[in-house]
A and B are shown apart, each in its own frame.
Chain A
Amino acid sequence: MEQMQTEQTLVCRNLTKSYLRGRPVLQNLNITLRPGRVVGLLGPNGCGKSTLLKLVSGILVPDSGEIFICGEPQSEATNRFVSYLPERTYFDGHMVVAELMDYFGDFYEDFDRERAETMLQDLGVDRAARLSTLSKGTKEKVQLVLVMSRRARLYLLDEPIGGVDPAARDYILRTIIGQYDKNATVLITTHLIHDVEPALDEFAFMANGGRILLSGNAEAVRSERGKSLDELFREVFSCLPN
């Protein structure tokens, strides 16, 4: 059992989380992620996708349950394995892009500055620009570049392409997500399933309460059911009256 935990990038056992005076967002959630996979965590709004990512990254504290990252119980120490991109802009607006690279370089041993510089150049982001002067989309690009420039074991990407233009979206999916370290695991939550689908190896459909309704290999769904993940998602979570 212990060895199995070490081999997996992420193991969540009986994870429960509720916010103040609310019903549980996640209830006894169990999920295991293997190395070298790009996994799409898909579900309707409020089903607990972001909460799960926050719990894994240590932003939130679970009510009960266990989280193991690369065999170690989740703690500040496991943050060295995890590269987390929240769904909001979270950098100090007074900082310059180059300063942010210094910051990442100082605190994350696995930060690849050269890689970050190349990506910023490709995306047309000025290294000398102050973050507060950039548009929301450009800020998101900077965040994504910095997060993906780490040689992490687990990437947690919460809506990574939600705010960027379609051209940058293609670049991000092809260059950034497509060229991640093959021993790493990428967990993506998004509503833009159609865009992300080609990059996904596996998927998990999450329903309210954090229940995993359906999970499996993305390619198998397409070949066996003759449907794209986007179509399957619409079918499973259909809001239309029958």
Chain B
Amino acid sequence: MLTKLMRYDFRAVLKLWWIPAVTLLALSPLTGLFIYLVSFADTNAVATLTLTIIMILLLLLYILTFAAHIILTLFFCHRRFYCHFFTDEGYLTFTLPVRRRTLLLSKTLVTFIMTVATVLVCAASLALLAVSSGYGSDVAHWIGNQMRSFLGDDGFAVNATVIIILLLLFLLWLCSTQFLIQFAITLGAVIAKKHKILAAIGLYYLASNVLGLLMTLFMEFTTVFTAVAAVRFSDMSTARFDVISMLLMFMDILFLAMLDTILYLLTLSSIERRLNLA
């Protein structure tokens, strides 16, 4: 049943998702080409001004499409979540011979996969932009430098672990953003009779501020802890210090994983027990 549900959810989201994705990918080399032309054009020529104007307009369009792609993905996925669970369409959703946890899991997996796909499309479009504008090698060099300065030169094993941890943190952050939206929509629909979306938006901002504060405090705590450890144990070996840093990052992962689990279970519990379609 999960596969069937996901198939319909994917089909519904993809029906519109591909439009901003393809637009963004098509705009990247075009914008890059104009950046390239302007960079190497004669600065005094009148044609350069025209090229510059076109480049600026294209760049503006690219940035807008980039933002729209992310926003629309979230909108398409969460609109489906909202409509299928909390509007009249719920009369069909909840009379299917499918467990409610399977219904939620389907929406969650599809949203997560589509979000990751959006991130990949955005990354691909940036790479295309960099390559087509002639700054590909410069950007690659800059990223390499940044990575080296962040990770250090302590050997491949440590660096690979740190990269995996960072990737995991990023994915968990994506999950928490998604779960927070789902939780706000669910709670908004449960507590509000008429203005469910307004209630959901209000709750989202409230919850994200509270959680943001908690996250900041937690991150600050880990940073301060690392700094204190560095001063206190100045004779500590680099390897041991790396291990402590990684442990702290693991704590961050644990914190995010706990947060995600709590938000998911609260949403599931509301859908299973508190849902009352009027």
Residue of B with least CB distance to A102: B8
Q: Is B232 at the interface (CB under 8 A from chain A)?
A: no
What residues on B are CB-neighbors of A19 within 8 Å?
Answer: 276, 278
CB contact list, A59-102 vs B, under 8 A: 59-61, 76-77, 79-80, 82, 84, 86, 88-92, 94
Q: Is A171 at the interface (CB under 8 A from chain B)?
A: no
Q: How far is the CA of A57 from the CA of B276 in the complex (A)?
A: 12
0/1 string, B156-185, CB within 8 A of A gives 1: 000000000000000000000000000000
* Contact between chains at B97 and A80 (CB < 8 Å): yes
| Partner of B97 from A86, A90, A107 at Cβ < 8 Å | A107
B interface residues (Cβ-Cβ under 8 A, vs A): 1, 4, 8, 12, 15, 83, 88-92, 94-100, 193, 273-278
What residues on B are CB-neighbors of A91 within 8 Å?
Answer: 89, 92
Most chain A C-beta atoms within 10 Å of own C-beta, residue among B8, B83, B273: B8
> A76-B99, A76-B100, A94-B12 known; A59 and B92 CB under 8 Å?
no
What residues on A are CB-neighbors of B193 within 8 Å?
Answer: 20
> A54-B277, A61-B275, A103-B8 known; A90 and B92 CB under 8 Å?
yes
* Contact between chains at B89 and A61 (CB < 8 Å): no
* Contact between chains at B97 and A88 (CB < 8 Å): no
| Partner of A107 from B4, B91, B275 at Cβ < 8 Å | B4
What residues on A are CB-neighbors of B91 within 8 Å?
Answer: 59, 84, 86, 88, 90
CB distance from B192 to the nearest CB of A (A): 11
> A19-B276, A76-B100, A107-B4 known; A57 and B92 CB under 8 Å?
no
Count residues on chain A whose CB falls below 8 Å from chain B CBs: 25
What residues on B are CB-neighbors of A59 within 8 Å?
Answer: 90-91, 94-95, 277
Q: Is A24 at the interface (CB under 8 A from chain B)?
A: no
What residues on B are CB-neighbors of A80 within 8 Å?
Answer: 97
Main DSSP-derived SS at the B contact region: loop
Residue of A with least CB distance to B88: A90
* Contact between chains at A92 and B89 (CB < 8 Å): yes
* Contact between chains at B97 and A77 (CB < 8 Å): yes
A interface residues (Cβ-Cβ under 8 A, vs B): 19-20, 54, 57-61, 76-77, 79-80, 82, 84, 86, 88-92, 94, 103, 106-108
Given contacts A61-B275, A79-B96, A79-B97, 19 further A-B contacts (CB under 8 A): A57-B94, A58-B94, A59-B90, A59-B94, A60-B276, A61-B276, A76-B96, A76-B100, A80-B97, A82-B95, A84-B91, A89-B88, A90-B88, A92-B89, A94-B12, A106-B8, A107-B1, A107-B96, A107-B97
What residues on B are CB-neighbors of A103 within 8 Å?
Answer: 8
**How many A-B Cβ pairs are below 8 Å?**
59
CB distance from B275 to the nearest CB of A (A): 7
CB distance from B145 to the nearest CB of A (A): 48
Most chain B C-beta atoms within 10 Å of own C-beta, residue among A54, A59, A84: A59
* Contact between chains at B277 and A84 (CB < 8 Å): no
Which 8 residue pairs of A and B lie closest in terms of their CB atoms, listed nearest first?
A: A90-B91, A80-B97, A79-B97, A90-B88, A86-B91, A76-B99, A84-B95, A107-B96
* Contact between chains at B97 and A108 (CB < 8 Å): yes
* Contact between chains at A61 and B273 (CB < 8 Å): yes
Most chain A C-beta atoms within 10 Å of own C-beta, residue among B90, B95, B97, B193: B95
CB distance from B99 to the nearest CB of A (A): 5
* Contact between chains at B277 and A107 (CB < 8 Å): no
> A60-B277, A88-B88 known; A106 and B4 CB under 8 Å?
yes
Residue of A with least CB distance to B84: A92
